[in-house]
């Protein structure tokens, strides 16, 4: 890259306060549209889950179908204490195999999850909390159906089918019965876990900032005007319902030509969709970096630094974050790309804060529980998010970043809470 090209790339990745405020305001507006009507850019999928009380008691088998792995565990909740009865068991290849169209059938997908369930709990009956990290429409009875795949997953004949029935059928083939199986998005389980672990906040947000990107928040049901009369009858207008926002589908106007090229090249990854997620999430970081500096430049780095940005490896996001410690334009581009991701994450959180419609000028604390390697394992990322976020929210709002310090993942905690309500 010559100096002029480097300067253009850095300028394209550097967002002004005005651009971030525009992201915040446009996103808040689109969240409001999603809460009011189906079929919008921001799906705003109601989960019919209330804020947890924090006094749940009992054991639950939990399954987490995430962007990278599928895991199962057997956990025990005792009020504010949580522990493993059986440590997590993982299928580390299922989701990577499922990126090839036709490689994994619907039956195989659930059979392999049921096999993990049997490994962590041999009992014939149990309650099961199912964390499903993809856009799904929830029902008041706790079931859900896939709306569309994201993160490059392509398993056919699943859209619109009952996730609960599919997993329970697979478990039944192993001689096991799930007595209660609430199905929730990972942002919802993160949101619920945050409210469970710290009940002193006025509001909560759950955000995923790792392989993928998404967020959830509690909303007064009066703001969720698309709820039908039957479902709404069980809720007071001022009650808080957890909503999976599916923020990744937002398209910020400030994205660069490199983002456009990445999106257009992903013919099997829903071109035109999930533009915010593709700009932030770890799954795409290396690919964007490679489009900016060139594949050959990445391969020509010294052995300790070299990588192929087109290999599709999700671990290569770590190469980009490490290159911030390299030198020259490679370090500058890596730093700018990671900083842009943190700034966009902050702007997205600010949009959620605005959309929650907290009373004006009344001091309030919003607890934010974040999950994901970008947020917690990328040096300086969380601090950058906090600093940018503080400049984008009203002065009467205080953000409290929550951290899960237990040995049990937030997704497991939130799914277990849901199964014990």
Q: How confident is the model over 197-249, as pLDDT tens digits?
A: 998 999 999 999 988 899 999 999 999 999 988 888 889 999 999 999 999 99
pLDDT at 265 over 80: yes
State whether the Cα torsion 78-82-87-93 is positive or negative. Answer: positive
Compute the radius of gyration of the chain from its Cα atoms. Answer: 21
Strands (E), 143-244: 144-146, 177-180, 183-184, 203-209, 213-220, 240-244
Q: Which residue has the tokens 């394992």?
A: 377
According to the model, what pLDDT value does residue 67 have?
A: 78
Tokens of 188: 């919802």
- Indicate the DSSP class of residue 6: H
Contacts of 228 (CB under 8 A, 6+ apart): none
User: Backbone phi, then psi, for 284, in 5-degree steps?
Assistant: -110, -10
Distance, in Å, from the CA atom of 314 to the CA atom of 324, rounded to the nearest integer, reads 18
Q: What average pLDDT does range 375-382 have in this prediction?
A: 94
pLDDT at 313 over 80: no
Work out the number of other CB atoms within 10 angstroms of the CB of residue 225: 11
Binning pLDDT at 50, 70 and 90, where does residue 27 land?
very high
- At residue 49, the 3 state secondary structure works out as strand
- Cα 108 from chain centroid (whole Å): 24
Min mean pLDDT across 85-99, 140-154, 329-343, 356-370 is at 140-154
For the chain, which residues make up each domain, given as ranges? 53-186+408-420
Tell me: the pLDDT tens digits for 35-66?
999 999 999 999 999 998 778 899 999 999 98
Q: Find the DSSP H helices in 37-149.
A: 94-97, 106-120
Of 89, 152, 140, residue with least CA distance to 118: 89
Distance, in Å, from the CA atom of 95 to the CA atom of 104, rounded to the nearest integer, reads 9
Burial, 106: exposed, middle or buried (Cβ in 10 Å; 0-12, 13-18, 19+)? middle
The CA-based angle 102-103-105, given to 5 degrees, is: 70
pLDDT at 389 over 80: yes
Distance, in Å, from the CA atom of 70 to the CA atom of 131, rounded to the nearest integer, reads 10
Contacts of 141 (CB under 8 A, 6+ apart): none
Distance, in Å, from the CA atom of 193 to the CA atom of 247, rounded to the nearest integer, reads 19
Contacts of 247 (CB under 8 A, 6+ apart): 27, 31, 42, 213, 214, 215, 276, 277, 348, 351, 352
| Threshold 0.85, pTM exceeds | yes
Tell me: the pLDDT tens digits for 109-163?
999 999 999 999 999 999 999 999 888 888 989 999 998 888 788 899 999 999 9
Distance, in Å, from the CA atom of 220 to the CA atom of 128, rounded to the nearest integer, reads 28
Q: What average pLDDT does range 315-322 have in this prediction?
A: 85
Binning pLDDT at 50, 70 and 90, where does residue 314 land?
low
Distance, in Å, from the CA atom of 270 to the CA atom of 264, rounded to the nearest integer, reads 9
pLDDT at 196 over 90: yes
Binning pLDDT at 50, 70 and 90, where does residue 387 land?
very high
Binning pLDDT at 50, 70 and 90, where does residue 311 land?
confident
Q: What average pLDDT does range 82-89 have in this prediction?
A: 96
Please provide the DSSP assignment of 24-40 as one string. HHHHHHHHHHHHH-TTS
Of 22, 20, 83, 95, residue with least CA distance to 57: 83
Distance, in Å, from the CA atom of 15 to the CA atom of 62, rounded to the nearest integer, reads 40
Work out the number of other CB atoms within 10 angstroms of the CB of residue 41: 18
Q: What is the largest CA-CA distance in the chain?
A: 66
Q: Which CATH superfamily is domain 53-186+408-420 in?
A: ATPase, nucleotide binding domain (3.30.420.40)
Distance, in Å, from the CA atom of 292 to the CA atom of 289, rounded to the nearest integer, reads 5
Binning pLDDT at 50, 70 and 90, where does residue 344 land?
very high
Residue 368 near residue 194, CB atoms below 8 Å: yes
In DSSP terms, which residues pair with 162 in a beta bridge? 145
According to the model, what pLDDT value does residue 421 have?
A: 82
According to the model, what pLDDT value does residue 40 have?
A: 96
Tell me: the pLDDT tens digits for 157-182?
999 999 999 999 999 999 999 999 99
Residue 71 near residue 396, CB atoms below 8 Å: no
According to the model, what pLDDT value does residue 361 have?
A: 79
According to the model, what pLDDT value does residue 68 have?
A: 81
Of 98, 89, 327, 77, residue with least CA distance to 193: 77
Mean per-residue pLDDT over the chain, rounded: 94
Of 168, 169, 131, residue with least CA distance to 49: 131
- Indicate the DSSP class of residue 15: P
pLDDT at 393 over 80: yes
């Amino acid at each position: 890259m010559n100096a002029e090209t480097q300067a253009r790339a850095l300028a394209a990745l550097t967002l002004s306060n005005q651009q971030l405020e525009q992201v915040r305001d446009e996103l808040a507006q689109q969240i409001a549209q999603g809460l009011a009507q189906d079929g919008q850019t921001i799906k705003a999928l109601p989960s019919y889950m209330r804020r947890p009380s924090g006094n749940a008691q009992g054991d639950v088998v939990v399954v987490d179908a995430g962007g990278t792995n599928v895991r199962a565990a057997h956990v025990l909740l005792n009020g504010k204490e949580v522990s493993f009865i059986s440590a997590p068991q993982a299928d580390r290849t299922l989701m990577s195999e499922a990126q090839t169209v036709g490689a994994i059938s619907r039956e195989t997908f659930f059979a392999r999850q049921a096999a993990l369930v049997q490994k962590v709990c041999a009992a014939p009956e149990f309650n099961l909390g199912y964390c499903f990290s993809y856009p799904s429409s929830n029902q008041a009875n706790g079931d859900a159906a896939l709306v569309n795949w994201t993160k490059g997953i392509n398993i056919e004949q699943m859209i619109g089918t009952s996730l609960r029935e599919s997993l329970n059928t697979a478990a039944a083939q192993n001689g096991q019965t799930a007595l209660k199986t609430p199905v929730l998005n990972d942002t919802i389980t993160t949101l619920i876990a945050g409210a469970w672990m710290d009940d002193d906040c006025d509001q909560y947000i759950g955000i995923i900032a790792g392989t993928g990107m998404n967020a959830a928040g509690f909303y007064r049901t009066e703001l969720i005007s698309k709820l039908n009369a039957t479902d709404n009858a069980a809720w007071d207008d001022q009650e808080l319902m957890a909503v999976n926002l599916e923020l990744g589908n937002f398209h910020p106007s400030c994205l660069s030509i490199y983002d456009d090229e990445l999106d257009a090249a992903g013919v099997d990854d829903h071109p035109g969709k999930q533009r915010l997620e593709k700009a932030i999430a770890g799954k795409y970081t290396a690919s964007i970096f490679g489009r900016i500096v060139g594949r050959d430049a990445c391969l020509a780095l010294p052995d300790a630094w070299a990588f192929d940005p087109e290999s599709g490896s999700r671990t290569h996001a770590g190469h980009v974050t490490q290159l911030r410690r390299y030198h020259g334009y490679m370090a500058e581009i890596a730093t700018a790309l990671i900083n842009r991701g943190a700034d966009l994450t902050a702007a997205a959180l600010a949009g959620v804060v605005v959309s929650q419609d907290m009373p004006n000028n009344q001091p309030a604390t919003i607890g934010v529980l974040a999950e994901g390697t970008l947020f917690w394992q990328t040096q300086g990322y969380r601090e950058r998010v906090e600093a940018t976020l503080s400049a984008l929210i009203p002065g009467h709002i205080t953000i409290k970043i929550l951290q899960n310090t237990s040995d049990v993942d937030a997704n497991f905690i939130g799914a277990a809470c849901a199964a014990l309500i």
